[in-house]
Amino acid sequence: MMDLKLIIMNVISIFWYFIPLLILIVIFKSPWFKGYIGEVIVNFTINIRLDKDDYHLIKNVTLPTEDGTTQIDHILVSSKGIFVLETKNMKGWIFGSEKQRQWTQKVFKHTSKFQNPLHQNYKHTKTLSSCLDIPDSKIFSVIVFVGDSEFKTEMPENVTYAGGFIRYINSKQETILSATEIRLAIQKIETGRLKPSIKTHREHAQHVKDIKVQKAFGKSCPKCGSTMVHRVSKKGANAGNKFWGCSQFPKCRAICT
């Protein structure tokens, strides 16, 4: 009996050694960790290859929108304009074009779809343009793929792999923002962003999840045909009430009941 108890205790002690390893494996394979590593790579590249006196980096910015929040990986404010970077840490072959709603990732025999990152970053740039009251022409969308991925279709110049985004940023040589405009832009971003916290991240993640559900089961816009999403009225007699608004807002302002 004592031998059996001793064996059980030894098995349990060995098992407990593997628990931290299993937890680490789960973390390393999670989308959150992959995204975090991608952002670290981009941060490091910016810090060593761009002039800090001209390019001011603001990371992980969550801004309020009409229907919830939007989260931006990196914002670079400079005299050459404001660059909004969206990072994708992916592997395999990547297929896509500027106007496609979804792009394709192929890893060996496995094929999956993901949202066109240009469309994803469009909302970021529009939100920032509205927040800063700066023309769209002074805000540049940049998509950065890191990891073991390879483009299999021709990509726009602002969709880059690894350090290629530095070349794109350096291609903008015209001075379009003054020192005063740069200072005000940084100030507005810092004061307008939601406080970085676990709560802010969770609420944004839930908002993204809700949008995916709404897109799957929602209505079509009567004006442009895009997906309608639930929004909450913030002003007037209907403040606090939910309504259906076009997902392309502010480009399309159609609503329905």
Residue 182 and residue 238 in one domain: no
pTM: 0.68
The verdict on residue 13 lying in a domain is no
pLDDT tens per residue across span 32-70: 555 567 678 888 899 999 999 999 999 989 888 776 778
pLDDT at 16: 59
Residue 187 and residue 61 in one domain: yes
Pick from 156, 115, 144, 129: nearest CA to 45: 144
Q: Is the pLDDT of residue 191 over 80?
A: yes
| Number of domains observed in the structure of the chain | 2
Residue 179 and residue 62 in one domain: yes
The verdict on residue 21 lying in a domain is no
The verdict on residue 6 lying in a domain is no
Residue 143 and residue 223 in one domain: no
The verdict on residue 156 lying in a domain is yes
The verdict on residue 23 lying in a domain is no
In the three-class reduction of DSSP (H, G, I as helix; E, B as strand; rest coil), residue 211 is classed as helix
pLDDT at 100: 92
Residue 161 and residue 38 in one domain: yes
Residue 113 and residue 155 in one domain: yes
| Residue 230 belongs to domain spanning | 218-257
The verdict on residue 9 lying in a domain is no
Residue 183 and residue 227 in one domain: no
Rounded to an integer, what distance in angstroms lies between the CA atom of residue 141 and that of residue 61?
Answer: 15
Residue 247 and residue 121 in one domain: no
| Largest Cα–Cα separation, the chain | 83
The verdict on residue 179 lying in a domain is yes
The verdict on residue 12 lying in a domain is no
Residue 78 and residue 186 in one domain: yes
Residue 191 and residue 238 in one domain: no
Phi–psi pair at 102, nearest 5 degrees: -130, 145
pLDDT at 229: 76
Residue 253 and residue 169 in one domain: no
Q: Is the pLDDT of residue 215 over 70?
A: no
* Cross-sheet strand order for the sheet of 102-107: 110-115, 102-107, 92-95, 149-151
Rounded to an integer, what distance in angstroms lies between the CA atom of residue 77 and that of residue 181?
Answer: 10
Residue 33 and residue 92 in one domain: yes
pLDDT at 216: 47
